């Protein structure tokens, strides 16, 4: 009986060490923001208000994490309704044909301090390109209800022409590079 108990405890310990945790995004404490140069003299800022994301990891930190983000392109918001309508058109995101953009990680490795190098595939308007971003891991904490939370942030740049967002091909009125900033808080399921 003692051997059976020890075998059970060993199997339990091994199973728990490989157990994966799923973290889902907390939309009230997360944001997907962008800015782009306008007329070469100023910037237009905006965000996407509807999104879904998850992290799957079996490690105490993020060194084996798998990230999956989906953004509703129809939720674009620059606080100017006519501009938002134009951004939803075929000139930019073509939201009727491409209702989402996605990011799926392919690898991650720890850099210095709380930084990680995250690689993955970004898909916009049906075009998928590999990207590499530096991710800052904010750590974990418990909220007032005892839910375990995890925070990350990243800032990176993409060329919109790479994804078929080719309105104003000269890039004079609307810049070609888009700065993207993501602040994300996740809740452990």
Residue extents of the structural domains in the chain:
20-188
pLDDT for the residue numbered 59:
72
In the chain, what is the greatest distance between 2 CA atoms, to the nearest angstrom? 78
Residue % of the chain over a pLDDT of 70: 90
29-38, 56-65, 152-161: least confident range = 56-65
Topology classification of domain 20-188: Lipocalin (2.40.128)
Q: How confident is the model at residue 98 (pLDDT cuts 50, 70, 90)?
A: very high
pLDDT for the residue numbered 6:
45
Query: What average pLDDT score do residues 22-37 get?
Result: 97
Side-chain half-sphere exposure of 89, counting CA atoms within 13 A: 9
Averaged confidence pLDDT in the chain: 91
* Total Cβ atoms within 10 A of residue 170: 7
Distance of alpha carbon 161 from alpha carbon 168, whole angstroms? 10
Query: What average pLDDT score do residues 32-61 get?
Result: 94
Query: What average pLDDT score do residues 60-74 get?
Result: 93
Question: Per-residue pLDDT for 161 more than 90?
Answer: yes
Distance of alpha carbon 92 from alpha carbon 60, whole angstroms? 40
| Residue 168 DSSP class | S
Query: What average pLDDT score do residues 8-34 get?
Result: 74
Would you list the DSSP string of 53-112?
A: EEEEESSSSSTT-EEEEEEEGGGEE-S-HHHHHHHHSTTTT-TTT--EEEEEEEEEEE-S
Q: How confident is the model at residue 3 (pLDDT cuts 50, 70, 90)?
A: low
Question: Per-residue pLDDT for 52 more than 80?
Answer: yes
Q: CB under 8 Å to 78, separation ≥6 — which residues? A: 44, 45, 46, 84, 87
Query: What average pLDDT score do residues 99-123 get?
Result: 97
The pTM (predicted TM-score) of the whole model is 0.87
């Amino acid at each position: 009986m003692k051997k059976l108990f020890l075998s059970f405890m060993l199997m339990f310990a091994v199973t728990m060490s490989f157990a994966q945790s799923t973290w889902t995004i907390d939309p009230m404490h997360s944001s997907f923001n962008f800015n782009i140069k306008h007329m070469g003299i100023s910037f237009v800022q905006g965000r996407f208000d509807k999104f879904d994301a998850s992290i799957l990891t079996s490690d105490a930190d993020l060194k084996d994490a798998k990230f999956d983000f989906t953004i509703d392109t129809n939720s674009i918001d620059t606080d100017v309704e006519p501009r938002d309508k134009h951004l939803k058109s075929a000139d930019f995101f073509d939201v009727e044909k491409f209702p989402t953009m996605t990011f799926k990680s392919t690898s991650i490795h720890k850099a210095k301090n709380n930084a990680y190098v995250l690689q993955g595939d970004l898909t916009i308007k049906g075009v998928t390109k590999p990207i590499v971003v530096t991710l800052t891991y904010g750590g974990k904490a418990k909220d007032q209800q005892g839910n375990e939370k995890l925070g990350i942030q990243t800032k990176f740049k993409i060329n919109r022409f790479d994804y078929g967002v080719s309105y104003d091909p000269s890039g004079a009125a609307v810049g070609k590079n888009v700065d993207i900033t993501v602040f994300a808080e996740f809740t452990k399921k």
